Structure 1
Amino acid sequence: MQMKLPRGTRDILPGEVEKWHYVERVFQSICERFQYEEIRTPIFEHTELFQRGVGDTTDIVSKEMYTFEDKKNRSLTLRPEGTASVVRAFVEHKLFGQVNQPVKLYYSGPMFRYERPQGARQRQFTQMGLEALGSNDPAIDAEIISLAMAFYKELGLENIELVINSLGDKESRAKHKEALVAHFEPRIDEFCADCQVRLHKNPLRILDCKVDHAHPLIATAPSILKFLNEESTAYFEKVKTYLDALGIAYTVDPTLVRGLDYYNHTTFEIMSTAEGFGAKSTLCGGGRYHGLVQEFDGPETPGIGFGLGVERLFAALDVEGIELPIAHDLDCYVITATESAEVTAVSIVNTLRLNGFSVEKDYMGRKMKGQLKDADRKNARFTMILGDTEIENNVCQLKNMQTGEQTEIQLDDIVAGLQQLKGDK
């Protein structure tokens, strides 16, 4: 029986994986410039973590999690998102007691959701994200939005749009909840079974329903912005003021609620507006959460963060026709003219590699002509030819493959010689 990939997963092969490396390096670089530090959490956690942290009214928890029991009948779940794990680690390791506050963390890794694979949506997908824990300052809301926008801009995306909203504080959300229940309840039987359950548990989630998104009551639902109290309104205005100061354009969308239960105050999404991307255009989403740290038995701690899908990022890059500047550098290809030169070639290749050069040689028994063709296919900058005469005289010929210029170098000085030819210090 031929073994194949599980549905909703994919292999990332050489030739493509270099693009992933590039994107990961850009994300790491920009996070570090903004003073975020990396955190790595387990791929699976206790199921209760996501039930409590993400919310049992969400599609993620109710429908999409990969949950299993271990040999001691403990319920474990492959992580479907990153925030709950980061906050769990923040509490468990008492990062709230660190001198440097707020605690600013970023992560990258595979997540798992059981949904219908389509386009860039997979059951195993890669998410990058960050969390800032400990600050109530609306300036940090603007900071993480700025970081996300800068990341996409640095990769060359031009057709992106920032959409923001405020869900207000607990008091504002309570009043809005009452209004939503009153709005939907008379016709709730027209909605899906999930929305009927959500009506009294979390009616805000009805606005984000994938099944009933076109129902006319969604469009006429009372706006959260009309229920923001003075404090929540002032907070949202400050966030917008900071975004204006940063020169970041945005659109306010009162229906933007995000898909997780722990959000309040600022929520946002960054979308692709490129023609041909499709209806599901969200590249990145996040927002502020108060109460999640306490949910995991930590002290009262505000937080804000975002998550972005790497597969969707690549889809956006493809739609805009952006080629990432991937370098396939091969400094030198060592060619052997005789079989007796093989031992010396192996030694030189290893010496150069250990001194920081990218070096290759033939392992397929090719003749010199075949080795030269292989060096050309691999875009070698230099070739080194070794034969009996060269070894006897302790020299080699280094050929610049672009200019055709050849230079004779003592084998004992090969490291310094190649460095000089490359222009390295």
Structure 2
Amino acid sequence: MDKKTPIVIFWFRRDLRLNDNAGLYHALKSGNPVLPLFIFDKEILDDLEGKDDARVTFIHQTIEQLSKELHKLGSGLTVIYDKAEHAWDDIIHTHNIAAVYTNHDYEPYAIKRDKAVKEKLNKRGIELKTFKDQVIFEKDEVVKDDGKPYTVYTPYQRKWYSLLKPFYLKVYPTKKYLKNLAKIEVPPIPSLKQMGFKKSSIPFPDQEYKDVIAEYKEKRDFPAVKGTSRISLHLRFGTVSIRELAQTAYASPDKTWLNELIWREFYMMILYHFPHTMDHAFRPEYDRIKWVNDEAQFTAWCNGQTGYPIVDAGMRELNATGFMHNRVRMIVASFLSKHLLIDWRWGEHYFARKLLDYEMASNVGGWQWAAGSGTDAAPYFRIFSPDAQTKKFDPQLQYIKKWVPEYADFSKYPKPIIDHAFARERCLKAFKEALAK
């Protein structure tokens, strides 16, 4: 293709698919050939601690597959490894760009990055057009009657349902317009090695989710059974469409699984309106808590060596697979912040390093819920008993036996690093003192 020919660029980010992609659909209908682009952003990658980070491997594999699909269509995917702003300097000088299309991203870094890129493009008369794609409702679409954001989930959920109309779940028919992709040859994709990473050995879950929806309500809290969908990784990076998931969930007689998707949107709305919650308590009085922050106990928690088998099983599952069952996430988060009185941010950062499906809004929201410091949080005096949680959700110890096999031999399993009764009283005292100020 002649470099003087005006093109539009579609910038893939958290939407790594061709089907039902809002921004791509609008780009393909723009009237100009569409050049697909993906940037491995050094700003993000340089912050990752492990050079075998499984998420980078997943993204790289997905990009390779996307590139193959585009190649079959006579097009290609331009892949750049650089800081986003620097990458756009090169792109602007290489192509005659009529406009740039992409989908919204709501995390604080992404908002800052997109603002800088938009200003750079606008200086050259190029418009950056962005679209809603990773949620059904965003930003100010579900708010109170006075226009203020909800801070409690249940009324937000009611309003969400009341606003839902069929067109919100309508699929974008991108496949009809793929003939409008630019016919180009592109350079090879940078390898993991070239970017300073190596391939992770952690396996990735598939995209099957429909088989769990019917019994989700009954099975979702039991970590030893396949009661959850494991679709969150694909939702995080947009290899599946939120509209497809919501359609399927809405068609189910039981709406429990759909309600979990609504929780995700609730937390994304909270992070958008209250960006300080990224690293501060939603309820500022909780920033006054005097955390103990014992580093040896934190290391024991990270390694699954606390002497509490349900906690240790969860942490070992996370370390081995990049996944932790949602019920167990609540248990280990409560244990860290309330039993050990370790700042919830320590745990949130550890999850950020390890979780394949890490999404800032949901992770911060979940941790603050467990610590009592967030929006619509569990009250501070609700302190999970690991033993009671085990009896209720892993009564046959199947989950524990899988991840903590030495539990059967008391001589090999560590003694509890803290006494439950002592920890409970210490937590209540510390929280009361902080909240009384």
Q: Normalised by the size of structure 1, how large is the TM-score? A: 0.22
Higher RCO (CA 8 Å, separation ≥ 6 residues): 2
Larger radius of gyration: 1
Higher helix share: 2
